[in-house]
Chain A
Amino acid sequence: MPPNERAEKQAAAQQAVDILHEIATILNCHLDRRTLSICISMIENGVNPEALAAVIKELRQEGQGGQIDAAAAAASSSTRRR
């Protein structure tokens, strides 16, 4: 890919992340730009968004003294219908 085209694609990707971060702020998701960027990459690599959100919530609780095993239990025991 020509360097100019690569730079344009990177700029567009950055702009998309910026907009998504603004949406995350409006929704009060408590996500900094770096964490959001990592999560976007994980979703683009096939990670289920609900499972990822459950993991984030558990990691945050763990930071307040929760148990990491609950993350596996929460993600594997929940069945959601839409």
Chain B
Amino acid sequence: MAHLAHLGALTGDLVAAVTAIPENQTARRDEYRDAILQSLRSHRFTRTNQFEVEKHLRGLEEHFHVLGRDALGEALRQRLNAIEPHRTQFTPEILHFLLELADQPVKKSNISD
């Protein structure tokens, strides 16, 4: 029960962070939170394959270099190396999550960011 309550609280925080629903509209926020919890429980996605994640990241790094965006490729490699001492059992899943949200990085990312 404590775990579900904690996940519920995190989901509420997520709704607050991502949507523009005003803080005083608690019923609306709760509605979103409950819908999200339902979808997270009923999804059919498979478990993360950490080797596929590593392959995808290596491919992206190469893609940066092939298209002349060497600074970004190098920056990605440096950050992936830097995360290694902090690696946990969840690191592959977190990287998988980031890859799912990646928005054309080779085309749109800027090293200045």
Which residues of B line the A interface, CB within 8 A?
Answer: 3, 6-7, 10-11, 13-15, 17-20, 31-32, 35-36, 38-40, 42-49, 52, 60, 72, 75-76, 79-80, 82-83, 86, 88, 90, 93-105, 108-109, 113
Contacts and interface: CB of A to CB of B under 8 A. Distances in A.
A24 to B, nearest CB: 5
Interface in A1-46: 12, 15-16, 19-20, 22-32, 34-35, 38-46
B43 A51 contact: yes
Q: Which interface residue of A30, A68, A71 has the most chain B CB atoms within 10 A?
A: A68
A52 B39 CA distance: 9
A28 B15 contact: no
Contact of A82 (B19, B36, B40, B46): B46
A45 B76 CA distance: 26
Interface of A: 12, 15-16, 19-20, 22-32, 34-35, 38-57, 59-60, 62-63, 68-69, 71-72, 74-82
Tell me whether chain A's interface is mostly helix, strand or loop, or mixed: helix
Contact of B17 (A20, A34, A68, A71): A34
B40 A75 contact: yes
